[in-house]
Structure 1
């Protein structure tokens, strides 16, 4: 390996083109269902026609792609420059559905989204200072919570997807199990490029098996428009309602808390330190993408935890891989027919792969907690109580339904509720642990180079 290549951090490596394409597509497939879920929920609440619903989904994919590029590549102080996928936050689904149905429709949502994003941009550095409240006991707990909280999502997919008539049918579970076994076998017996693409190979295998048994339908591909370009304010000029704006500001607080956990998790997985300035850059990118989302007919954006699990599972740490995923999302957003192909992948296929990916996130949290003295009663209580609080809405989704809507926005996100609990309990049991007097200055991103290790893999 040359001296220059040895200096390239794995995050900044640029794999060969075929690896960029395969690993990038793998990330897109892993997050696609989550990317389209919120537009579907809000579009249904707003009573949109099928054509407008498709437009809403395409706009979401387009902005998610742009947001991912900003986060991974970076533009000035916008972007964490780590392998982090962006998508519409689930925390916004319930309040936006309410606004769409009774509080001013889509124009009121977009007005609130734009204001919330603009307010969050200058607030990002302040929120970034919270890094001092994340010692290993808090970081490990939050990463563990992220992984465990996502496992029910994988289980829902494995059973067929939320709301389907054949939910839990034996053939759905059998298909998910087959994909899970395929991914595990690929991880065990395939080396190099193929081993790292185990999830993508498993999804391809599952989709082909589903097609053979009549469990998927590709007919919508031929009916999709070949080209679709999102234009600003397609659903009308934004309107500004105080109640909607307050709801979106609360959503952004939740989104920033979740993104903080995801950034810390991916920093841990890629062995790259996260400073308060780095964290602020990531949160600032979230906020800017949210403003862009409001203009181009979609919703608040945040980091997607399911893709953090994919980084840990495959060991591919390059941010340029995920930047390629952003480019693929932009392509899907501009060409609905291509998006329809990805949308045809059955939910059980994603569920089988998701069980491994999300479990990997949880294991990463356990690895971080292994650095913590859990024989100390204080640390044990921090982990135990935070995990319990986080799993309340996961195990009993209606637990907080009688509380005010503003409280539900925060508490229904187990990740946010668990993170806040972990921070507060760590302060209560361990006291305030100040950050170092001086933080290492952020180094400029090195010029992209292809590291020898990846070149060797490409030649296999």
Structure 2
């Protein structure tokens, strides 16, 4: 009798207590992002404490529901991979810019419009995915990873030019958290080793407590339950012109979601077809973003942090991120937990984030390595795309003098790198060969086979041509 087909690790159930532990690890690593995003919006737009608490609660609940949706993937909404969703990054900045220029009601309307735009453009975008091979996606993942490492590092050091930048105590906490994570990963085996990231973060938080830089007393203040309220800013207003920045960004976001789907599949060892599976991830982003707009949130996107956790811990079950999603929903309703997580110093979170984000960079390098870097053309495409993609990340404000609409895309290193790699890949690997076949010289007729000498048979013309091709593989194309 034939044995039943083995279940892939991404579809395996784990004991409930282990899934909760591993899910908590995902939550602890990524929880700082929705908290910092909401506080940034609140401080920039001068929101009241009540609205801030409401937005924070909604951010956790929607992040949790989005994580469950992406991980379970019902009705082709979600890729059925271990994904976690959250607000953060460029969508938050664009949301604030629209709110400052046109008001908060228009900003929430722009998020809702963009959620619909995702679904309308997706059929066209899915036909273009074939122009995003491993070279393009790997380049994009490297740029994403470097940008995330920088974000984590800034949590440790603070922004240059601000008070407290490079504070020795913060640096000590960040480096100690990294050291704790490495020590746990080196000392332990099995489940404890897989929890090294979470244990390192907890150890860093305890160190901060003993150093007097973390105060957890506020976690017991206030009520126990908070239910997020819809339409915190009133009925949304819809303006296509005001929504243009988010609509333009959504194109780059779809490309980034494609890369994250492929790299997530790589991390769990699952065969992922970008054209088939990436649209499922994008639909999940669209649905959750559409719902989040009614709760006053920026666009919700899949998170790169948890992919690094999957790779470090080798816990590949998507039901772990389902557990993380459930925990996030509970956090959103249970006010003291939110306050407790918010009390962890940013330097500790940053130290953990740097380890996880560094793994993202390595995954991108591995993907590019399969794109045949021995070929000079591939190396050239990768070099140009990485250089242009890292420019706005390494030199903030490089495009400050450009028109606002141009800056929307130029200041997104991920968008610039992905666009550059895709265009160069099309030019060198699609257009140039087609032009060569159409206008190139006709191949010379094969030479006659040489006579055998000393009993050694002659090399067939086909083999000789193949040998010449392999011997000149690294040479530039004529």
Partner of 1:326: 325
Taking the aligned partners of 1:217 and 1:254, their CA distance within structure 2 comes to 39
Taking the aligned partners of 1:121 and 1:363, their CA distance within structure 2 comes to 32
Q: 1:293 to 1:367 in 2, by over 3 A?
A: same
TM-score of the aligned structures, taking structure 1 as reference length: 0.89
Partner of 1:190: 188
Partner of 1:41: 40
**Which aligned pairs between 1:25-424 and structure 2 lie closer than 5 A?**
25-103=24-102, 105-160=103-158, 165-275=163-273, 276-424=275-423
Check conservation: 1:179, 1:203, Cα contact below 8 A: yes
Taking the aligned partners of 2:34 and 2:431, their CA distance within structure 1 comes to 38
More displaced, 401-410 or 313-322?
Answer: 401-410
SS at match of 1:401: coil
Partner of 1:440: none
Taking the aligned partners of 1:57 and 1:165, their CA distance within structure 2 comes to 26
Q: 1:6-61, CA deviations, whole angstroms, 9 ceiling, x for partnerless residues?
A: 61111111111121111111111111121223322222232211221121111111
Q: 1:89 to 1:406 in 2, by over 3 A?
A: farther
Partner of 2:428: 429
Q: 1:246 to 1:180 in 2, by over 3 A?
A: same
Gaps of 5+ in 1: 434-460
**Which aligned pairs between 1:15-26 and structure 2 lie closer than 5 A?**
15-26=14-25
Residue 82 of structure 1 and its aligned partner are, at CA, apart by 0.5
Q: 1:359-401, CA deviations, whole angstroms, 9 ceiling, x for partnerless residues?
A: 1111111222222322322101111111111111111111122
Rg: which structure is higher? 2
Check conservation: 1:160, 1:347, Cα contact below 8 A: no
Residue 432 of structure 1 and its aligned partner are, at CA, apart by 6.4
More displaced, 93-102 or 232-241?
Answer: 93-102
Q: 1:40 to 1:247 in 2, by over 3 A?
A: same
Q: 1:36 to 1:250 in 2, by over 3 A?
A: farther
Check conservation: 2:385, 2:421, Cα contact below 8 A: yes
Check conservation: 2:138, 2:259, Cα contact below 8 A: no
Check conservation: 1:45, 1:97, Cα contact below 8 A: yes
Gaps of 5+ in 2: 433-478
TM-score of the aligned structures, taking structure 2 as reference length: 0.86
SS at match of 2:229: coil
Taking the aligned partners of 2:277 and 2:301, their CA distance within structure 1 comes to 16
- How many aligned residue pairs are there? 431
Q: 1:162 to 1:266 in 2, by over 3 A?
A: farther
SS at match of 2:75: coil
| Greater relative contact order structure (CA < 8 Å, 6+ sep) | 1
Taking the aligned partners of 1:368 and 1:242, their CA distance within structure 2 comes to 38
Taking the aligned partners of 2:56 and 2:159, their CA distance within structure 1 comes to 18
Q: 1:3 to 1:361 in 2, by over 3 A?
A: farther
Q: 1:224 to 1:266 in 2, by over 3 A?
A: farther
SS at match of 2:301: strand
Taking the aligned partners of 1:272 and 1:116, their CA distance within structure 2 comes to 30
Taking the aligned partners of 1:274 and 1:265, their CA distance within structure 2 comes to 9
Q: 1:352 to 1:83 in 2, by over 3 A?
A: same
Taking the aligned partners of 1:243 and 1:221, their CA distance within structure 2 comes to 43
Residue 177 of structure 1 and its aligned partner are, at CA, apart by 1.1
Taking the aligned partners of 1:409 and 1:61, their CA distance within structure 2 comes to 27
Residue 225 of structure 1 and its aligned partner are, at CA, apart by 3.2
Residue 161 of structure 1 and its aligned partner are, at CA, apart by 7.1
Residue 409 of structure 1 and its aligned partner are, at CA, apart by 2.2
Partner of 1:436: none
Residue 94 of structure 1 and its aligned partner are, at CA, apart by 2.5
Residue 164 of structure 1 and its aligned partner are, at CA, apart by 6.8
Q: 1:26 to 1:56 in 2, by over 3 A?
A: same
Taking the aligned partners of 1:307 and 1:397, their CA distance within structure 2 comes to 26
Q: 1:140-191, CA deviations, whole angstroms, 9 ceiling, x for partnerless residues?
A: 2222222122111111112257897423111111111111111112112211
Residue 325 of structure 1 and its aligned partner are, at CA, apart by 1.0
